Structure 1
Amino acid sequence: MTENLLERYQRSMTNMFGTPAQALVKGEGVYVWDADGKRYTDFLAGIAVNALGHAHPAIVEALTEQAKTLGHISNLFTSLPQVGLAERLLAMAGISEGAAFFANSGTEANEAAFKLARRHSHAQGGSRPKVIALQNAFHGRTMGALALTWKPQYREPFEPLPGGVVFVPAGDIEALKAQMDDTVAAVIVEPVQGEAGVRDFPPGYLQQVRQACTEHGALLIFDEIQSGIGRTGTWFAFQNPQVTGTADPVLPDAMTLAKGLGGGMPIGALVTFGKDVSELFTAGQHGTTFGGNPLATATALAVLETIESDNILHNVRTVGTYLEQQLHALPIVKTVRAYGLWQGIELDTEAITAQGMRLPEGGLAPKVVAKALDYGYIINATDQTTLRLAPPLIITTEQVDPLIQDLPNIVAETVAEAN
């Protein structure tokens, strides 16, 4: 059955994603099943999307009940779920004045953020043409978001991209300050760089970026598309002292959200902080047909309400700490970069080569990901040596334990097959 579906996929779908690893047909909680009936523990959650896992009753109920009344109405109208979700996000961010714009994805949210930076420039007579982004950043694949994304293999096939973007080394505050002047419209930063391998910055870096933006009148935009909605153990990473290195939140002027916000439904958001920033867009300057429709926003509200009512942020911190400790104890692991249930695992390739063993062609981590599927685990590689885990926020220590026990064997088998 799986083989047949994959053959049909190759005949009918574009090759943008290569050949899928499996054809999945069902999910429940932290588990999914393929078309042949094999079960997998999902340690990726649709790339940090399925915050409540698969087929969570709260999401099923929200979708079902909302579909009985209004599914889509366009943005010529509003709805109770749309307004309620905007109010909830502003309250979670701890801001008294602000605004939300709803899109359909993370890259669309970052497109809106890029346009917000341009509006900030135009509001000051067009004197701020420059946007600063960080090396190793990932902000999306549409043209504006791609212009903010560092990886050459993503950018180069589509150049020339929208101009005015300057990249500086991630975590180097002096390099950023060297580019900061009154021609900068905005600085966009992932509080933790997800696609780079779940990497944060030196303590106090985000606060120093905030200060530099304030001094020069530039907007600070946080891309919280992966890090937001409880992934690090707080609602947003800018509220997390482990991420910011400070006791108080480091407040941006705007942030983008997606992934976990909809729990599997397509939704993105640009949230602006303060009256002046929130009034940069005026009617007709940006838009979306589907964004913020009742179905997506009702589901997002259910996700937020469930995370709060079930004390899931506590679970993220508790299970995240347990997972980090158990991974650190494995001899195959060089280091773990852990932020709640978002962890980058650096494999100890030096120890492997020191034993006279060859590493797999194409990198150890991608081959480990493929071998993990054989064992019944869905994990991810961000580069040749780094594994990324971003499981549903509801995962338990008991559900984590099997991967901990099997990971050494998965790596050992992967290496053995390359020798």
Structure 2
Amino acid sequence: MQYSQSDANKLMYVTNRPELVFTEGHGMWLTDHNGKRYLDYLQGWAVNTLGHAPQCIADALAAQSKKLINPSPAFYNEPSIELAKLLTANSVFDRVFFANSGGEANEGAIKLARKWGKKNPAADGSARFEIITFKHSFHGRTLATMSASGKDGWDTMFAPQVPGFPKAVLNDLESVKALIGEHTVAVMLEPVQGEGGVIPASKEFMQGLRSLTKEKNLLLIVDEVQSGMGRTGQLFAYQHSGIEPDIMTLAKGIGGGVPLAALLAREEIACFEAGEQGGTYNGNPLMTAVGVAVIKELLKPGFMESVRERGQYLRQRSLEISEKYGFEGERGEGLLRALQLGRDIGPQIVEAARNLEPVGLLLNSPRPNLLRFMPALNVTKEEIDQMFSMLEEVLAKIGK
């Protein structure tokens, strides 16, 4: 089937898109409506944990769709219970609320923290509601999660913002201490700031933050929408620091490509009452059956070790190309990494890479001076080598 730009214009404009339509994908590869193939290092922005169209997801969808799709969240269903058991058994959390997107999960975390702040009020008896977040952070596109985010320009885009989100500086504990007041209830951060440019929180900072929040009776919320589900080489990124947060959010990788998210909390924090949280599609068996299939793959012997090995190889190859072209190194964890270009050529590289012939390369530049790599967790060394070979071809084309 052929598509025209007028056909595409039936979709509401929200971003600039190239004039191509993807019709098929397998593993690390996508194919467009003209039959051109692309090596995909976006993977839906770290969504496709196991690549495009993995067999385990296809099987889970086919089997569950024949049994039960959505009985309503007013009733229990088997896949949601099984997925909740797997998540809690492999983390420090006791309770799970399933949602459909990272923004929705983070909105739920904000609501849960504020509810806990009512039950654990300030000295004068008033509710605690302020959540300290961080500059350059990204927590979603609802009004509250945009207000929680530290993304430039978001404070005026849909003003007025939701109040109660003072911004600290990542890896600067003193900046957090300075913002704590009588109405502070929590600190919320991404263990690796993805949209901010793949900036990891240091182990020392995470441990210091956990000690500080315990001392001040504050909740520690980790937004693992992008860093969770094996992306950093551990099942959850907080595990690199050896800490125990109070609340965690997941999305993207948990569904391996389908809309699924989760809000997890320790037992004593899970204080929602009937009617305070919900959603028509939340925890539906079709999506949670996929989540079960995904996490079972991640928990197989040797899988996480292979992610760490591939992450180290991606780091090595990034450092090699950085030295060769005079870039500024790389940073990240596991298979969430950034090549620091040192100059604002990222968008130019992205466009030239996509337009390579006969095979294109899909890259991402969340900041103009870097490239972000988010391959499938089962990417091969050969596919990493191929990406860098194609990247060098792009650099030669643009004369960098």
Mapped partners of 1:35, 1:124: distance in 2: 56
Alignment RMSD: 1.5
Q: Are positions 1:100 and 2:96 aligned together?
A: yes
Q: Are positions 1:120 and 2:131 aligned together?
A: no
Instruction: Indicate if the aligned counterparts of 2:342 and 2:370 stay in contact, CA closer than 8 A.
Output: no
* Matched residue, 2:44: 46
Mapped partners of 1:193, 1:405: distance in 2: 27
Mapped partners of 2:256, 2:229: distance in 1: 10
Matches within 5 A, 1:189-200: 189-200=189-200
* Matched residue, 2:8: 9
Mapped partners of 1:391, 1:5: distance in 2: 30
Question: What whole-Å deviation, never above 9, does each CA across 1:363-413 have from its counterpart, x for those lacking one?
Answer: 410110111112311110011111000011110001111111222231232
Aligned pair count reads 390
Distance 1:178 1:344, change over 3 A: same
Q: 2:59 aligns with which of 58, 61, 71?
A: 61
* Matched residue, 2:386: 402
Question: What whole-Å deviation, never above 9, does each CA across 1:190-225 have from its counterpart, x for those lacking one?
Answer: 001000111013440011111111111111000000
Mapped partners of 1:105, 1:407: distance in 2: 32
Q: Are positions 1:307 and 2:305 aligned together?
A: no
Matches within 5 A, 1:6-405: 6-10=5-9, 12-20=10-18, 22-95=20-93, 98-125=94-121, 126-240=126-240, 244=241, 249-273=242-266, 275-278=267-270, 280-309=271-300, 311-330=302-321, 331-332=324-325, 333-349=327-343, 363-375=344-356, 376-405=360-389
SS in 1 for 2:195: coil
Deviation of the 1:310 alpha carbon: 6.2
Structure 2 runs not aligned, ≥5 long? none
Deviation of the 1:294 alpha carbon: 0.2
Deviation of the 1:5 alpha carbon: 4.2
- The aligned amino acid for 2:312 is T
After TM superposition, the score normalised by the length of structure 2 is 0.94
Instruction: Indicate if the aligned counterparts of 1:180 and 1:212 stay in contact, CA closer than 8 A.
Output: no
- The aligned amino acid for 1:75 is P
Deviation of the 1:169 alpha carbon: 1.6
- Among the aligned pairs, what percent are the same residue? 36
Deviation of the 1:270 alpha carbon: 0.4
Structure 1 runs not aligned, ≥5 long? 350-362
SS in 2 for 1:334: coil
Which stretch shows the higher mean deviation, 48-57 or 198-207? Answer: 198-207
Deviation of the 1:300 alpha carbon: 0.4
Instruction: Indicate if the aligned counterparts of 1:262 and 1:299 stay in contact, CA closer than 8 A.
Output: yes
Mapped partners of 1:231, 1:378: distance in 2: 19
Instruction: Indicate if the aligned counterparts of 2:136 and 2:152 stay in contact, CA closer than 8 A.
Output: no
